[in-house]
Amino acid sequence: MTPGPTSPILFFDGECNLCNGLVQFVLKHDKKKIFFFSTLQSAAGKEAKASAPNAVGRNSDTFILYYNSAYYSRSSAALHVFRLLGGIWAGLFIGIIVPRILRDWVYNLVSRNRYKWFGKRDSCMVPTPDIVARFLS
Tell me the C-alpha distance between 87 and 67, whole Å. Answer: 19
**CA dihedral sign of residues 34, 112, 98, 89:** positive
Q: CB-based contacts of 28: which residues, under 8 Å, 6+ apart? A: none
Res 55: pLDDT = 53
Q: What is the pLDDT of residue 58?
A: 43
Q: Which residues of the chain have pLDDT under 50?
A: 56-59
Instruction: Please tell me the predicted confidence (pLDDT) of residue 89.
Output: 95
Q: What's the pTM?
A: 0.85
